[in-house]
Structure 1
Amino acid sequence: MSMEFTDYHTRLAAYVLLVDEVEGQECVLLAWWNGEGHSDPAWSLPGGGIEFDESIRDGLVREVFEETGYHVEPGGLLAEDFFTGQGRTFDGLFRSQRFVFEATITGGELGTTEVDGSTDHAAWVPLAELDAQSRVGIVDVALSARAQQEQQR
């Protein structure tokens, strides 16, 4: 199906992949997405929807702070991905365009700062335990891109 950009809504979203050594284990920073009443809760990457009047990177910084309590400096683009679907709050189709960045934590402390949002908490989850965890697809997109990047080094 070929559609013009005026025929559908667009959602821009940006996320970070942060992997670090925590208590002797390689861990990934994840945010517990509560499903917002329409999906099963699951782990996601910190990040989310970009507001109309902000840049991708500014939105990323805001979202990561809201969901994790950390201030970050965005790095390079690690992956991009999209999916399409039927709108829940409007009639018609949408395209969700997602960007995953590398980043560096520059301050803050672990703790979700948003109130009544889509994230209940954040945690450093051991990569070795991730297969047993419920997670949304953007986590696998990011980890796959990271593995490809490491193979190219």
Structure 2
Amino acid sequence: MHFTEYDTRLAAYAVIVNDADEILLTWFNGGDGGRPSWSLPGGGVEYDEAVEDAVVREAYEETGYAVELGPLLAIHHHNAPAGGPFPRAYRSQRFLFHARVVGGQLGTTEVGGTTDFARWVPLAEFPLPERTAEIVGLAVRRLGRR
């Protein structure tokens, strides 16, 4: 399919693990028509925004933490056909970056968004009993755990 025949969404996420071997996750409330689930801090890249800047902004909005990016951990894409959740065929291109907390305090700062809260989750608890976005599983696998 030619790129003019589908819509594309760029998204970028932070993979943050603390010294206690816990990963920072966010609770996506399904507000944009999706299903509620655990996800990584991150989201859509604005039109005039660098991918790296989007990760830093989204992490702060969703977790209250200022973060510093490390290396790229993974690139992943997801496709959806036309007529499903979207009127046109759809491709989501996702970038996952290692990151570390450099300031702030835990607490969602966005108002009226799709993230209700953030929480540190022990990596030893994976897989989680609650619904979890596939990018969380990808991050955990790339980190070399489960």
Deviations 1:41-98 (A, max 9, x none): 1110000010001000011111000000001111110001001114678521110000
Change beyond 3 A, Cα 1:90–1:84 = closer
**Is the counterpart of residue 121 in structure 1 residue 106 in structure 2?**
no
- Checking the alignment, whether the CA contact within 8 Å between 2:68 and 2:101 is kept in structure 1 is yes
TM norm structure 2: 0.90
Could you tell me how far 1:126 is from its partner in structure 2?
Answer: 1.2
For structure 2, list consecutive stretches of 5 or more residues without a partner in the other structure: none
Aligned residue number for residue 22 of structure 2: 27
- The structure whose Rg is larger is 1
**Is the counterpart of residue 102 in structure 1 residue 98 in structure 2?**
yes
TM norm structure 1: 0.86
Could you tell me how far 1:37 is from its partner in structure 2?
Answer: 5.7
Give the 5 Å matches for 1:9-48: 9-22=7-20, 26-36=21-31, 38-48=33-43
Which letter does structure 1 place at the counterpart of 2:26? A
Distance in 2 (alpha carbons) for counterparts of 1:17 and 1:90: 28
Give the 5 Å matches for 1:1-153: 3-22=1-20, 26-36=21-31, 38-86=33-81, 91-131=87-127, 132-147=129-144
For structure 1, list consecutive stretches of 5 or more residues without a partner in the other structure: 149-153
Indicate the RMSD between aligned Cα atoms, in angstroms. 1.8
Distance in 1 (alpha carbons) for counterparts of 2:76 and 2:112: 27
Distance in 2 (alpha carbons) for counterparts of 1:138 and 1:19: 15
* Structure with greater helix share of residues: 1
Distance in 2 (alpha carbons) for counterparts of 1:83 and 1:112: 26
Distance in 2 (alpha carbons) for counterparts of 1:44 and 1:37: 14
Which letter does structure 1 place at the counterpart of 2:17? V
